[in-house]
Structure 1
Amino acid sequence: MTTKTPVAVHIFAYQVGFGDCFLVRFRYAVGPSRHILIDFGSMGMRKGTAAADWMLKIANDIADKCEGKLDAVIATHRHADHISGFATNKTGTASGNIIASLTPSVVVQPWTEQLDLAEDAVAPNVAHSAKARSAALALRSMNAVAGSALALVSAKGHGLAPALAARLGFLGEDNISNLSAVKNLAAMGPNVYTFHGASDPLSKVLPGIKTHVLGPPTVEQTDSIKKMRSRDPDEYWHFQRMRMATEVATSQDTDEPFPAARSIRGTRLPMSTRWVAKRVRDVRGSQLLQIVTSLDKAMNNTSLILLFEVGKKKLLFPGDAQIENWRYALSFPKIVKQLTEVDVLKVGHHGSLNATPKSLWGAFAKKGTTATPNRLKTVLSTMPGKHGDEARKTEVPRTTLVNDLTEHSELHNTHDLGEGELYKEVVLEI
């Protein structure tokens, strides 16, 4: 028998470099604890750390902590830095195989991840619309665009500046379909695909806890989650998929028009034309980067935003939700009132500024100095130098945000962990 309300919450924030992985334990005075895993992915480890071995070590630690049984797995969205650890292998020895063996009672994902969802669905089991059909088709094209971006920077003839190629490659890799992880999540269920305002997806596995789904909205609620550069996202992303495929084919094309003829291959362009070629490559690369950055933002806006209410305490896990996703949730005064009393914040998008709206940060009533009673706790999973540009003030984590978190909350940053340390443990007494 389990008592009605937990007496404490333990958050294990795992060191996954640039990624997210949180095991949340709800401890009861009587009866077994309940465990949920929120995301398990990485897009870059600390220097000298083998990603596969480290993720396997984390998976085994999760298995030990939950004593072989997970009550729920939550995958906030499909970016690799949130789900890559769920990938499996044929021998059954990968980190994803271990998590699947913990037989979660439910797997919770955003509505956009339902694999058998009709192309024109606006949400699970909700009536269809032309607007939703366009959004669904666009989301399906995005992974192909990301794959093409990754193939382009892997080709020897891409001609892009190193920094530009690295940025394009990172976004491409983060946005590919992660097929093994996606299939594993779909198979380890039962699955719940949820959206803003849906009923509590964890009510059967977390006694005494209310889980509020604040995002993402469906396209029937708002079309802000599919924010693109075009009025017709389906047509826009279909066009970009074809364009990227052409770019890749061109960069990999080494066929000679007359292969049997004698020829001399020049190693450099004439001096008079080099500046033109460089500028053409730079413009081309910048345009491709804008396209893939737009894709990245669109994927983040499908992220789950979950608010856990445990007794009088509140824990907020917003995944990578960005402003378009947040804008819808914050348009409801009741939700804004709920968020003012948050006790624990998982900082969105690894400390990206656009994932923590100023209106949200300003609303937290429990911010304050070290002398503030029941001071706000913040948890940040990140790795500097992987994403963004400090010169352009887009670095992740954003320096100004980290400074504010440090000054006005009790910040727990996975980047502060020492070599070999698996996790930070944050405890909230109820």
Structure 2
Amino acid sequence: MMGSKTIEIRMYNVGFGDAFRITVRDDTDVWRMLVDCGKHAHSSEAPPIADSVRAVIADLTEDCGGTPHLDVLAATHRHQDHISGFACDEWADVSVDTVWLPFVEDLDDPDATALRTKQDRAVNQLEAFISTRLALAVGRSGESRRLKEAQAFLVNSRGNAAAADRLLGCNGSGFAGPHEVRFFPKPDTRDDVVEVGRCGIVAHVLGPSRDPAMLTRMDPPSSAGWLRLNLDDDTTPPVNNGRPLFASQYTVARESVPAELLAAQQSLKLSSVSDDMGLLAAASVLERSVNNTSLFFVLDVDGFRMLFPGDAQHGAWEHVRSDPDADALINSVDFYKVGHHGSHNATPKDFVLGDWLNKGDAMVPWGMVKRWQDTIPKRELLTALKDTHHAVVLPTPVDPAVDDVPPRGKLERSERWAQLTFTV
């Protein structure tokens, strides 16, 4: 019967990180899903992630009538700002039926193991070089700032072993009882359409790509991104004793460095600028590679569609949009979880400016990180969403200029969360 089913999308204010609870209520049947729970280590102005975890579980306990339970828990990718909360012991009291993970976390998948090994090796090598450079840069604030920026990327790219153990049910960790783990996408794409069998719910898992070449795509060309840079085209890779320092997908061309920095380096003849910028660029490439392993899915409830792309960046979006059926699906969504906290290099411009056909609502999971306060969320992205009649909801109101499009859903706020409720 029309109007008897509601969908609640609750975005927790964890800081610079993601935690979303989706609740579908169909008369007496209630289905609950959590998408991610984590916070970046440099999100210092937000409460500790353990406090947020306790808030999530307390809300879940109350909603479930005393015994916290999730039908599905989706961890989109291994970055700290998406899964660090699952290291908290409180999850041992929550029952979870099924955990969804990207295929790259499958310990029995040889392709996934090879990719994780390359990523972990790159993290370790970069960490060692950055530590050495930091020791040499004492008293030189400019160099230290760039190196600490690179270090922040690496902290986020760490494998988060304790959280991963819980999600995988490994090494004595887990939830209140045994849980099923499902890895996506499957080699047979027909298995990526998940008929839940309750409340009219169907999930369409569209990414990540299983093609290693697609996973390592870097930033989009300047015409596709929110940030334009003048680039040169020197593609010579760094070499260490005749052997490449990093696996090929983490080799960074000078074209990743802004032209103005290269010009400054040449005029001042400071070789350390290119060294430090190279480390920063390599750390950034590594972060993008992990972002592009994000689960990318559409949740459909009787035709009401919600897009959760994790932190997918250009290569991952390109993979989805190259498939006509998948492209049509994402262009018709009613709700969009804005990727990568509203940064310049996640949401494609043409998706917002022309392809997203429904005048749906968007939520931006964001918290202040001082070193990114002028760039994340990208103001041009928020304005473009507003100008195309999409309501933008942040954990806390930031700017009336992007808050003046009323959401289609009923908006409620508390100190800990913002929630949109839709009736279908």
TM-score, length-scaled by structure 2 = 0.75
Identical pairs, percent: 25
Question: Residue 370 of structure 1 aligns with which residue?
Answer: none
Q: Deviations over 1:374-427 (max 9, x none)?
A: xx111111124456474xxxx111110012223421211114289981100111
Aligned counterparts of 2:194 and 2:14: Cα–Cα separation in 1:
26
Aligned counterparts of 1:216 and 1:421: Cα–Cα separation in 2:
34
For residues 378-393 of structure 1, the aligned pairs below 5 Å read: 378-386=362-370, 388=372, 390=374
Q: Match of 1:404, as an amino acid?
A: A
Question: Residue 191 of structure 1 aligns with which residue?
Answer: 181
Highest CA radius of gyration, 1 or 2?
1
Aligned with residue 401 of structure 1, among 368, 381, 389:
381
Following TM superposition, by how much is the alpha carbon of 1:238 offset from its aligned partner in structure 2, in angstroms? Answer: 4.8
Following TM superposition, by how much is the alpha carbon of 1:201 offset from its aligned partner in structure 2, in angstroms? Answer: 6.9
Structure 2 residue matching 1:42: 3-state secondary structure: coil
Following TM superposition, by how much is the alpha carbon of 1:163 offset from its aligned partner in structure 2, in angstroms? Answer: 2.3
1:144 counterpart = 2:144: no
Question: Residue 346 of structure 2 aligns with which residue?
Answer: 355
Aligned with residue 393 of structure 2, among 402, 405, 412:
412
1:425 counterpart = 2:419: yes
Aligned counterparts of 2:152 and 2:309: Cα–Cα separation in 1:
22
Question: Residue 217 of structure 2 aligns with which residue?
Answer: 227
Q: Deviations over 1:86-119 (max 9, x none)?
A: 11xxxxxxxx32234222111001000112332x
Structure 1 residue matching 2:73: 3-state secondary structure: strand
CA contact (8 A) 1:71 1:205 kept: no
Following TM superposition, by how much is the alpha carbon of 1:227 offset from its aligned partner in structure 2, in angstroms? Answer: 3.3
Aligned counterparts of 1:324 and 1:175: Cα–Cα separation in 2:
18
Following TM superposition, by how much is the alpha carbon of 1:347 offset from its aligned partner in structure 2, in angstroms? Answer: 0.5
Aligned counterparts of 1:230 and 1:109: Cα–Cα separation in 2:
36
1:70 counterpart = 2:70: yes
CA-atom RMSD in angstroms: 3.4
Question: Residue 356 of structure 2 aligns with which residue?
Answer: 364
CA contact (8 A) 2:21 2:33 kept: yes
CA contact (8 A) 2:102 2:184 kept: yes
Q: Deviations over 1:145-196 (max 9, x none)?
A: 465467557x644446242133112101101111111111111331111017
Question: Residue 251 of structure 1 aligns with which residue?
Answer: none
Aligned counterparts of 1:138 and 1:105: Cα–Cα separation in 2:
32
Q: Match of 2:201, as an amino acid?
A: I
Aligned counterparts of 2:117 and 2:3: Cα–Cα separation in 1:
43
Structure 2 residue matching 1:57: 3-state secondary structure: helix
1:278 to 1:4, Cα distance in 2 relative to 1, 3 A: farther
Aligned counterparts of 1:104 and 1:414: Cα–Cα separation in 2:
26
Aligned counterparts of 2:105 and 2:18: Cα–Cα separation in 1:
18
Q: Match of 1:190, as an amino acid?
A: E
Question: Residue 335 of structure 2 aligns with which residue?
Answer: 344
1:377 counterpart = 2:347: no
Question: Residue 86 of structure 2 aligns with which residue?
Answer: 86
CA contact (8 A) 1:226 1:298 kept: yes
Structure 1 residue matching 2:56: 3-state secondary structure: helix
1:218 to 1:52, Cα distance in 2 relative to 1, 3 A: same
Aligned counterparts of 1:171 and 1:162: Cα–Cα separation in 2:
14
Question: Residue 96 of structure 2 aligns with which residue?
Answer: 104
1:410 to 1:382, Cα distance in 2 relative to 1, 3 A: same
Aligned with residue 117 of structure 1, among 102, 105, 109:
109
For residues 296-375 of structure 1, the aligned pairs below 5 Å read: 296-361=287-352, 362-367=354-359
Aligned counterparts of 1:415 and 1:235: Cα–Cα separation in 2:
45
Q: Match of 1:215, as an amino acid?
A: G
* Number of residue pairs aligned between Structure 1 and Structure 2: 357
Q: Deviations over 1:110-140 (max 9, x none)?
A: 000112332xx37xxxxxxxxx95x454234
Q: Structure 1: 5+ residue runs without aligned partners?
A: 88-95, 123-131, 242-274, 368-375
TM-score, length-scaled by structure 1 = 0.74
Aligned counterparts of 2:126 and 2:39: Cα–Cα separation in 1:
17
Q: Structure 2: 5+ residue runs without aligned partners?
A: 219-234, 238-242, 251-265, 399-411
